[in-house]
């Protein structure tokens, strides 16, 4: 495993994004929605870095993907979606890879007619994008490698690592 982004780099970037978002949403009713399970580490740190009042909610999106890359049909579960009537929504995910998850979830939330809708991700694999859309806010752009840590998993392992690392051959078995 090779560390790409260490704990300190993540922490200072999340704090600066928090400030940016606090400016953006000052005096506007904000709800931050995290996508389970990859966003939970970022969500926990980011909401504490956004020094304006806001509500927090969670939804689930699972893509029944294979071991590392191939994504199947995306299943979005809005059962725990809070009421966003009259509110601005910021959707938070761990990574913008092909962008299909973000695109699908944004479309479903848009139907609920929030006052505005934007997206924020920890990582953006710009070269991997398969959609027109780009994330409104991101912490780091990374090359098209499979990474884990800080919420990101491989077969549900490694989410707890406090840094972002790329997996090497022997980690993938
Ligand atoms: P997308 O729909 O292709 O943008 O994929 C988004 C989802 O795929 C993320 O929420 C992650 O769960 C997963 N994903 C994509 N790339 C990686 C990676 O490098 N490591 C771990 N999970 C990834
Ligand atoms: Mg995920």
User: How confident is the model over 42-66, as pLDDT tens digits?
Assistant: 999 999 999 999 999 999 998 766 5
Domain boundaries, the chain: 2-172
**88 C-alpha to center of ligand 1: Å?**
25
The bound ligand whose nearest atom lies closest to the alpha carbon of 159 is 1
**30 C-alpha to center of ligand 2: Å?**
23
Q: Whose CA is nearest to atom 15 of ligand 1?
A: 97
Q: Whose CA is nearest to atom 5 of ligand 1?
A: 97
For domain 2-172, which architecture applies?
A: 3-Layer(aba) Sandwich (3.40)
Q: For ligand 1, what atom is nearest to the CA of residue 130?
A: 3
**94 C-alpha to center of ligand 2: Å?**
7
Residues 128 and 101 sit within 8 Å (Cβ to Cβ): no
**Residue 160 neighbours by CB distance under 10 Å:** 11
Residue 9: pLDDT band (50, 70, 90) is: very high
Which strand ranges, in their side-by-side order, compose the sheet holding 30-36?
Answer: 75-77, 54-62, 30-36, 88-96, 116-124, 137-141
Nearest residue to 101 (alpha-carbon basis) of 119, 114, 82, 127 = 119
The bound ligand whose nearest atom lies closest to the alpha carbon of 152 is 1
Q: What is the DSSP string of 24-55?
A: HHTTS-EEEEEEETTTHHHHHHHHTT--S-EE
Q: Which two tokens stand for residue 48?
A: 């504490």
Q: Rounded CA gap, 119 and 92, in Å?
A: 6
User: How confident is the model over 145-172, as pLDDT tens digits?
Assistant: 999 999 999 999 999 999 999 988 777 6
**39 C-alpha to center of ligand 2: Å?**
7
Average pLDDT over residues 99-110: 96
**pTM score:** 0.93
**Which residues, 6 or more positions from 78, have their beta carbon under 8 angstroms from its beta carbon?**
59, 108
Residue 85: pLDDT band (50, 70, 90) is: very high
What percentage of the chain exceeds 90 in pLDDT?
Answer: 88
The residues annotated as belonging to the active site are: 97
Q: Rounded CA gap, 62 and 2, in Å?
A: 26
Which pLDDT does position 62 carry in this prediction?
A: 86
Task: Say if ligand 1 is within 6 A of residue 99 CB.
Answer: yes
H helices within 26-114, ranges in order? 40-47, 100-110
Q: Rounded CA gap, 165 and 147, in Å?
A: 5
CA distances from 145 to 23, 50, 79, 113, 168 (A): 33, 30, 32, 35, 10
Q: For ligand 1, what atom is nearest to the CA of residue 99?
A: 4
User: How confident is the model over 106-130, as pLDDT tens digits?
Assistant: 999 999 999 999 999 999 999 999 9
């Amino acid at each position: 495993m090779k560390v790409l982004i260490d704990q300190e780099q993540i922490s200072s970037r999340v704090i600066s994004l928090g400030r940016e978002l606090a400016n953006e949403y000052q005096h506007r009713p904000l709800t931050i929605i995290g996508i389970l399970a990859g966003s939970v580490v970022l969500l926990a740190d980011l909401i504490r870095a956004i020094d304006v009042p806001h509500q927090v909610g969670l939804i689930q999106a699972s893509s029944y993907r294979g071991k590392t890359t191939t994504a199947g049909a995306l299943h979005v579960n809005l059962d725990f979606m809070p009421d966003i009537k009259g509110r601005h929504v910021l959707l938070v995910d761990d990574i913008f890879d092909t962008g299909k998850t973000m695109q699908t979830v944004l479309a479903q939330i848009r139907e609920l007619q929030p006052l505005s809708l934007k997206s924020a991700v920890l990582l953006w694999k710009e070269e991997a994008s398969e959609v027109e859309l780009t994330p409104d806010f991101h912490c780091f752009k990374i090359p098209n490698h499979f990474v884990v840590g800080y919420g990101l998993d491989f077969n549900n392992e490694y989410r707890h690592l406090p840094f972002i690392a790329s997996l090497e051959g022997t980690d993938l078995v």
